[in-house]
Chains A and B, each alone.
Chain A
Amino acid sequence: MILRLIERTAVLLVSLAVSSVLVFGFMAVLPGDPARVALGVNASDEAVAELRRQFGLDRPLPVQYVDWLGGLLRGDLGTSYVSKVAIGPQVFDRLQVTLILVVAGMIIALLLAAPAGTVMAARHRRLSGFALSALSQVGVAVPAFLAGILLIMVFAVKLGWLPANGWTPPAEDPGMFLRQLVLPALSLGLVQGAVLTRYVRSAVLDVLREDYLRTARAKGLRPFPALWRHGLRNAAVPVVTVLGLQLATLLIGAVVVERVFVIPGLGSLLLDGVSNRDLLLVQDVVMVLVVAVLLVNFLVDLLYVALDPRLRTGAR
């Protein structure tokens, strides 16, 4: 167990180091001088040279890399070449918004998928299971932004129950924060939930065919308690994999929904950075996303071990 934790942590650290080199290296070999890009084609050579000196772009690449990485470790993401403001606070603000939205969406997805997928599996021969199956199929086919627009039309425009867009930090006005969170989180959650439901269904179907579930029934457990006590933990392993993948994809994939609901998330910051040619900002956001994805994978790995004793090294 401890060995496994050390091993996974080592893998995480190595992946982080390698990806930081890749992200930095990729931005460094991009054609075009960042200072020239920031100042525009009409800037004088002196102004460009001055900016290069100011931001340390005239130093050798390894020095720049170490400087950048050191900053990252201290939580300092540097200063934008374009707007001359510190990047760190913006990125962490936006990351917080996106994280809240994505986690809320995934919680909705899980709350939807776990019972629906289980019922679909347990009743896969009956009409109710079939109907749920068809419904989830439709859900999978609907893109999140379309779900968002439909939700806005119904709940904001027609019924007027909830605001159509906007974002309020939770500390400022918790009531408004929640009201504004509902629709975007739902549009993410409904679609991801539909996808997840299908995985839950197949995982539970697999478990229902297992011999140990028959043993549980032979012990005197009725079908549902047998599935609950002996099936769910076993079915959770493949579902956790998909959950981790979805979470990682959504960190950036939520940008579409963020645009529909006018939410200042990380995705829109990245797009702004790209269109403003703010190369350091782009580099920082990409790195933050990489860290987030690697952390999610790390947590998924640990969760496997917690769920399945067969994966604990030294147990054999």
Chain B
Amino acid sequence: MSAVAAPDDVLSVRGLNVTVRDTVLVADVDLTVGPGERVGLIGESGSGKSLTALSILGLLPDDVVADGSIRLAGVGPDLVGTDEKTLSRIRGRDLAMVFQEPMTALNPTMRIGDQIAEVMLIHQTRSGRAAARAAAAELLERVQLPPDLLRAYPHQLSGGQRQRVVLAIALANDPALLICDEPTTALDVTVQALVLDLIVSGVRERSSALLFITHDLAVVATVCDRVLVMYGGRVVESGPITTLFTTPRHRYTQGLLAASNLEPHDAPTASDFADGAYPDSGSGDVAPSSRTRSRRLTTIPGTVPAAGHFPSGCVFRNRCAHATDVCATTPPWTGTATHGYACHHPAGAQDA
């Protein structure tokens, strides 16, 4: 894929590789996020989503190395290979992140208010402590938390409340790009919707761009405009959310959609989940309905290989029912930079 970065893209990642010693974890990832755009990054665990996010932030673990090009609008140098001093001025100001695990993301020995105010004081986006504290109270209000939590410590808050504090910290300096890595995965189902809502309204108010990482297709469908599907450290398909969900081209995307019961004409309801997941719950039903009987849990055959053990060529070919000899060569990218796939035998093609 030989796209030239559009000049107005907020984030443009080109040919990103992430390696640990000799093992390639992420290979040749291209990714752009336009202004105010909300882009999803989906895939199973181990597909390289989080590493891609940490590469953008420049916070990869010690032995893990990124190369390629990562550019952020309004920031001069390429983020890859830039010194720590420059990167630390960007982090928390132009580029912010919400992590997966809210229970451990906050410092247990520091008051909530100080933790929110700190990110504004580091970057001097408010004049002085008093202004930063006032701003912190306002931010808390925006994530629907009472301002008296400013004096609370993290252990006094629930997971959902803590994640909203983390979001308040991330949004404090109106970042150009917000990255969320599975922000609701560790949360109670009842608060997931609220947190998602706050993320979307938060980036909307600031016209920030959003890069949203998840393995949950339903979440991606409610949050994002456009989505990239990752597998084995590669982007295998990308496109606008509706197109990609209705007519997937890559066989992995197709499998992922089938496994998640997300067909738009047959949206699952709560009772579907209950029936489908626990058909023998002993509720005293005379017999399971024919519909329930026909709904088996669909899975993609096989398991995700360990890092570094993906096949050569198409990384999905050892789990793909359509794989042939040609799949031993890396499939070329078909389509445009923002809408395309990398598959030798795409779904919906004549020869498939």
Q: A-side interface residues toward B, CB under 8 Å?
A: 125, 210-212, 214-223, 229-230, 233-234, 307-310, 315-316
Contacts and interface: CB of A to CB of B under 8 A. Distances in A.
Contacts of A223: 84
Contact of A214 (B59, B90, B155, B170): B59
B88 A212 contact: no
A211 B162 CA distance: 13
Contacts of A214: 59, 99, 105
A125 B92 CA distance: 28
Given A215-B105, A220-B90, 6 more contacts: A212-B108, A214-B59, A214-B99, A214-B105, A220-B88, A220-B89
Given A217-B59, A218-B92, A220-B123, A308 B169 contact: no
Nearest to A216: B107
Contacts of A125: 62
B179 to A, nearest CB: 9
B203 interface: no
Interface string B207-221: 000000000000000
Interface in B84-99: 84-85, 88-93, 96-97, 99
Q: Is the interface of A mostly helix, strand, loop or mixed?
A: helix
B23 interface: no
B222 interface: no
B106 A220 contact: no
Listed from nearest, the 9 A-B pairs whose CB atoms lie closest are A220-B92, A211-B104, A219-B92, A309-B153, A219-B119, A212-B107, A220-B91, A233-B109, A230-B107
Nearest to B111: A309
B156 A316 contact: yes
Nearest to A312: B153
Contacts of A315: 153, 155-156
Nearest to B110: A230
B106 A310 contact: no
Contacts of A316: 155-156
A125 B59 CA distance: 17
Contact of B122 (A211, A220, A233, A309): A220
A125, A219, A316: residue with the most chain B Cβ atoms closer than 10 Å: A219
Given A211-B99, A219-B122, A308 B108 contact: yes
A44 to B, nearest CB: 69
A278 B108 CA distance: 52
Nearest to B100: A211
B91 A217 contact: yes
B40 to A, nearest CB: 20
Contacts of A229: 118
Given A218-B97, A220-B123, A316-B155, A308 B109 contact: yes
B101 interface: yes
Contacts of A310: 108, 153, 155
Given A220-B88, A220-B89, A220-B91, A234 B119 contact: no
Contacts of A221: 88, 122
B166 interface: yes
B31 interface: no
B328 to A, nearest CB: 38
A218 B123 CA distance: 12
Contacts of A212: 104-108
Interface in B45-95: 57, 59, 62, 84-85, 88-93
A233 B114 CA distance: 15
A315 B96 CA distance: 31
Given A214-B99, A219-B122, A222-B85, A234 B109 contact: yes
Nearest to B104: A211
A215 B155 CA distance: 16
Contacts of B88: 217, 220-222
B132 to A, nearest CB: 13
A203 B122 CA distance: 26
Contacts of B122: 219-221
B117 to A, nearest CB: 11
A232 B118 CA distance: 17
B119 A211 contact: no
B84, B109, B169: residue with the most chain A Cβ atoms closer than 10 Å: B109
B185 to A, nearest CB: 14
Contacts of A220: 88-93, 119, 122-123
A234 B110 CA distance: 10
A202 B155 CA distance: 24
Given A214-B99, A230-B110, A310-B155, A219 B118 contact: yes
